[in-house]
Amino acid sequence: MKYSHRVSDGVHVLSYVYLHQDTKISSARLASSIDSNPSLVRRLMSRLTKAGLLVTHPGTASPALAKEPEEITLLDVYRAVEDQYHLLHIDEQTNPDCPIGKNIQGVLTQEFAKVQAAAEAAMQEITLAEITTNLQERIEG
């Protein structure tokens, strides 16, 4: 199973930009911190910019947060960078001749929706301010 790191990398970019706001920050520098490549970082930054979380200026190494860190939630980042908003996925190819195979998708759709709602509610409560405060404590501590 392949996992997406977009939310983690998106939070990484925003945290780095906030914590290094007085320095030049190129996509290459961000890529080095994420251990990725600059083109992937630029695409990620583009998504964050389109979502109103980041401000960039083409040709300059001066990204900035578009909002205060207290106003940016983990849910904002999740919605900005993920193509698919579902944490859990249902197997669509089950046996329709089996009573369980025939009905499992409908049951799981309801249950997975509960999980999704709970996860999104939790993500809405976590701000970039909290994350960067925790980062600073670990860096300094």
What is the full DSSP assignment across 76-99?
A: HHHHHH-S---SS---S---TTSH
Cβ atoms of residues 18 and 7 within 8 Å = no
Q: Which helix (H) or strand (E) holds 55?
A: strand 54-55
How far CA 34 is from CA of 6, 19, 29, 53, 134, in Å, comes to: 11, 15, 9, 19, 18
Cβ atoms of residues 127 and 69 within 8 Å = yes
Residue 1 has pLDDT above 60, yes or no: no
pLDDT digits (tens, 9 = 90+) for 45-62: 999 999 999 999 888 889
Positive or negative, the CA dihedral 55, 57, 50, 7 is negative
pLDDT at 128: 98
pLDDT at 2: 67
- Provide CB contacts within 8 A for 132, sequence distance 6+: 15, 18, 19, 69
Rg value, the chain, Cα: 19
pLDDT at 87: 85
How many Cα neighbours within 13 Å face the side chain of 44? 24
Closest Cα partner for 10 from 90, 123, 98? Answer: 123
pLDDT digits (tens, 9 = 90+) for 75-107: 999 999 998 778 888 998 999 999 999 999 999
